[in-house]
Chains A and B, each alone.
Chain A
Amino acid sequence: AQSVTQLDSHVSVSEGTPVLLRCNYSSSYSPSLFWYVQHPNKGLQLLLKYTSAATLVKGINGFEAEFKKSETSFHLTKPSAHMSDAAEYFCVVSRPPNTGFQKLVFGTGTRLLVSP
């Protein structure tokens, strides 16, 4: 069985300061991990994905995440927040690619608030 835990339901930062959104996972095999972003009244957009290649993954809009197996973590970071980053972020775990269809298990989400 797989699961993800997003440790913060809300994170508030000031524009220009670093962003850290925390995610821990549980999986009985080496998982695929993703971060999706959902802006208000919009669909889900893939930010980045980890599929057993490089442990530091770079995504769109300056976001990156590091897979740490020893800590079972996949935290999302960005050096400098922008107002447009305000959204809901979902950490997602899945089976490894090519091992079966990718049934995604979503975390509960973290709402990122960015103040001027």
Chain B
Amino acid sequence: SAVISQKPSRDICQRGTSLTIQCQVDSQVTMMFWYRQQPGQSLTLIATANQGSEATYESGFVIDKFPISRPNLTFSTLTVSNLSPEDSSIYLCSVEDRAANSPLHFGNGTRLTVT
């Protein structure tokens, strides 16, 4: 199964700043996904990132707030912009292993606290 490395594992940021989260996979994957897990909540899909195309955002998430890059088949970044305390969450990167008919693998997540 794919090994996903996510950085940073946690961060504390000030209101109004931005945080960029990196996701590195040890194999080439077509699709990468970014999820948010708010405190005490379940996971919600933010967007789907394909290499070489614009990310596809879910309802309630916009590119200006959550810009995503996908420069190659093993790497993606998610930026959370103009931070507010409501952005305090765990952000998780995941990948699909369709060749193995396998569901999503998840990174360990980035725990963001906004002060």
Contact = CB atoms under 8 A, between A and B. Distances in A.
A98 B101 contact: yes
Contacts of B104: 102, 104
Contact of B103 (A42, A94, A109): A94
A106 B108 CA distance: 17
Interface residues of B, number: 21
A56 interface: no
A43 B108 contact: yes
**Most chain A CB neighbours (cut-off 10 Å) among B42, B48, B92:** B42
B31 A42 contact: no
Interface in A2-36: 32, 34, 36
A19 B48 CA distance: 35
A77 interface: no
A46 B96 contact: no
Majority secondary structure, A binding face: loop
A97 B101 contact: yes
Interface of B: 4, 31, 41-45, 48, 92, 94, 96, 98, 101, 103-109, 111
Contacts of B48: 101, 103
A41 B94 CA distance: 16
Nearest to B108: A43
A90 B42 contact: yes
Given A102-B96, A108-B41, 7 more contacts: A42-B108, A45-B106, A90-B42, A101-B98, A102-B98, A104-B45, A104-B104
